[in-house]
Amino acid sequence: MREINLIVVHCSATPNGRWVSTLDIDQWHAARGFKRQGVWRARQNAQLGSIGYHFVVYTNGAIATGRHLAEVGAHVYGNNRNSIGICVAGTDQFTRAQWSSLAALVDRLRKEFPDARVTGHRDLSPDKDNDGLVEPWEWLKTCPGFSVAAWLRTDMLPRPGHILEEPA
């Protein structure tokens, strides 16, 4: 196993609530030139030749695997070597099933990697004014569409304003 010190939450930047699978993401990442090594494909998800994330949280709450946990991902510039990448399908609103699965997954990974910091992709943007905070004007992207820090502070409950209510 490689050393893990960072868990990064992403979103797929697709319409909220729209079904997205690891096969879809694999195609997008193939188009961007991402490539998994054969040894890792042989160990896990051989059908996925490119996907950069380790996990994807589907709109129905299912958690799908992408890259092997011991395999370096391709999801965050400059921080791939020691991190795990989780992608939640959507842009900034997620189903209650997604919120609950994301919480369970992060909980499990934190137990397995107690030294890992959990953060959102946007929080890894460069701190341009060097004040120690990555502020909204400094975000390269808005991914994952909510504040991971606030989510962690509030016991990983669904974030107000970011819950996709499904039709009854």
Which residues face 120 on adjacent strands?
A: 9
Considering only CA atoms, which of 91, 60, 89, 85 is closest in space to residue 162?
91
Which helix H or strand E contains 39, and what residues bound it?
A: helix 38-43
- Of 116 and 143, nearer to Zn ion (C-beta) is 143
- Residue 167 Cβ vs Zn ion, minimum distance, rounded to whole Å: 28
Q: In Å, how far are 44, 50, 74, 140, 157 from 36, measured between CA atoms?
A: 11, 5, 9, 25, 34
- Of 121 and 162, nearer to Zn ion (C-beta) is 121
Q: In Å, how far are 4, 52, 76, 138 from 132, measured between CA atoms?
A: 23, 28, 19, 12
Taking contact as CB under 5 A, which single stretch among the options 7-15, 97-105, 126-134, 153-161 is the one that binds Zn ion?
7-15
Selected from 74, 89, 102, 143, the binder of Zn ion by CB under 5 A is 143
Q: What track of x and - describes contact with Zn ion for positions 110 through 139 (by CB under 5 A)?
A: -----------x------------------
- Residue 152 Cβ vs Zn ion, minimum distance, rounded to whole Å: 17
Which two structure tokens, joined as six digits, stand for 59? 């709109």
Selected from 4, 6, 7, 10, the binder of Zn ion by CB under 5 A is 10
Report the alpha-carbon distance of residue 27 to residue 23 in Å, rounded: 6
- Residue 38 Cβ vs Zn ion, minimum distance, rounded to whole Å: 26
- Of 121 and 159, nearer to Zn ion (C-beta) is 121
- Of 110 and 141, nearer to Zn ion (C-beta) is 141
Please give the residue ranges that form the binding site for Zn ion (CB under 5 A).
Answer: 10, 121, 143
